Amino acid sequence: MPHEVGYEPIWMQEPDKLSKMEFYKIEKDGLDVIRTIIEEYADQGYSAISESDMLRFKWAGVYEQKPKEGYFMMRIRINGGVLNTKQARMLAALARDYGRDLIDVTTRQAIQYHWLKVEDMPDIFKRLEEVGLYSYEACGDCPRTIVGNPLAGIDKDELMDTRELVDRVNDFFLMNRDFSNLPRKYKISISSSMYNTAHAEINCLSFTPAKKVIDGQEVIGFHVWVGGGLSAKPFLAQQMDMFVTPEEVLKVSTGVTVVYRDHGYRAKRHHARLKFLVADWGVEKFQEEVVKIIGEMPSRGEDLTVGWNAAYFDGVHPQLQDGLSYVGLNVPVGRLYTDELLELADLADEYGNGTIRTTMSQNIMLSDIPNERVEELLKAPVLQRLTPFPNRFMSRTVSCTGNEFCNLAVVETKARAVAVAEYLDANVELDEEIRIHFVGCPNSCGQKHIADIGLQGALVKTENGMVDAFDIAVGGILGPNAQFNTVLKGRVKGDDVGPVLAQLILYYKNNRSEEETFFQFVQRVGVASFQEKLTEVLAG
């Protein structure tokens, strides 16, 4: 029987136009699989899991792990990337008890485990809930982890502290059956940072800082973006002609989500994201449909986004609060371990106020450190590997999970990314950061489209069989000049990636003008010049 909801699933009026997954979701809401896991599968084991429920496991924040032999990945929601040390210690303990000590920080500020068994999940759910954390709806066709400014509340460059706002929107959507059956995944970002710390242009729905004079008074609020997303067909979000006060963010979020739920495409899974509806309708028509639900809204005001810092914060930096600093740490390709997270929690308690922050660049920050204690903090042994002063290329390298655990990835990425960064740090001297992102498949969990240099995994046939290879793209950026990078022709074998990238980067270094960033250089000389250089390198 169809599950009970507070709305009419109007898309069921034309069932012949629905994908198979849509019938699974009507037959049993994805949220119901959480109870099934706890009450049935945890006792019956992996072999008892039905095909349809395995697909619904995503609503529990769980994916089957490669090679599909009874292990699972689990993703934990971290609202806006802000954790307390009680939560951090619980996350570390769960990794120790069930996840072989592996902890990954994702490009959406979440925490990800591997090697979990279905028998483990009831205890994991229970222990997470005890500290106010959830894996629920961290995956699935629903509103996922809300990303935000990891510096919220301590940032000199934000217009307001958005932590409470992120929590309010999260709490409304989490486990809300009116929104647990969307056409596909749905990603929200909320940030008032002037440096676009939550990557507004690549989310389904985003709020960025703005101001507007209303009734003679200057009001600080947000502008609204819809329809961003990556994967095989990336789209930059478009801005609606709308100014939103903080009090109205939830109302607007609800209206946008209702339009997507009721009118989004459900015939083909690969064509179901909000970005396709916005692209087809146009942002004006989309806004008209939202306004029918929430009422008229003020027109846009003045954008207050001035740039993009790509969510990098390594080093020691002054906070908004006098006398305090935050310390940005580099977590190489987002991977850390149980003992390291426990040590970070100890440092956050001893030197800070018990807060740990995760970033969309897969890194971690410790905040609220008295300035006079910073030097003492920096001597902590754990900060040797998770250093605030990383080598230049390692500091800006991002990677998805890769085929070590992911069923979709065709190549290994994390170890490869580390090896390439180490090679570049050893062989290329540069005074400018270049962002390098690795992905193992077209889904782009490693956000390769927005990198200075993005690498997407593939396989090539050689006389020794199939080997890992990568396609290279150059020139991506977000912020006021947002654009995706452009793929070059010429697939590079995995073992050659380091030397090939070194040649491309040296081409930039030797020909740039003073203080010209990599993106600016690509814009000036053109992608065609990089194509010529890559062709030359591969021919040599």
* Angle formed by the axes of helices 518-525 and 497-511, nearest 10°: 80
**Helix or strand run (H / E) with residue 486:** strand 486-487
Residues 213 and 298 sit within 8 Å (Cβ to Cβ): no
From 75, 275, 357, 435, the catalytic residue: 75
The CA dihedral of 434, 436, 442, 444, to the nearest 10 degrees, is -90
Burial class (CB in 10 A: 0-12, 13-18, 19+), 128: buried
From 228, 440, 475, 476, the catalytic residue: 440
Q: Give the angle 403-405-409 at the CA atoms, nearest 5°.
A: 30
From 227, 255, 402, 446, the catalytic residue: 446
From 255, 273, 445, 479, the catalytic residue: 445
**Locate tokens 């600093």: which residue?**
325
Instruction: Please indicate whether residue 185 is annotated as part of the active site.
Output: yes
Residues 201 and 478 sit within 8 Å (Cβ to Cβ): yes
From 56, 89, 144, 185, the catalytic residue: 185
Instruction: Please indicate whether residue 461 is annotated as part of the active site.
Output: no
Three-state secondary structure string covering 470-512: EEEEECCECCCCCECCEECCCCEEHHHHHHHHHHHHHHHHHHC
Q: How far apart are CA 286 and CA 336, in angstroms?
A: 42
From 56, 108, 184, 396, the catalytic residue: 184
Instruction: Please indicate whether residue 75 is annotated as part of the active site.
Output: yes
Residue 419 in tokens: 């090896």
Q: How far apart are CA 441 and CA 371, in angstroms?
A: 44
Query: Does residue 225 sit in helix, strand or coil?
Result: strand
Instruction: Please indicate whether residue 440 is annotated as part of the active site.
Output: yes
Phi, psi of 314 (to 5 degrees): -60, 145
The CA dihedral of 535, 537, 538, 539, to the nearest 10 degrees, is 80
Residues acting as catalytic residues: 75, 184-185, 440, 445-446
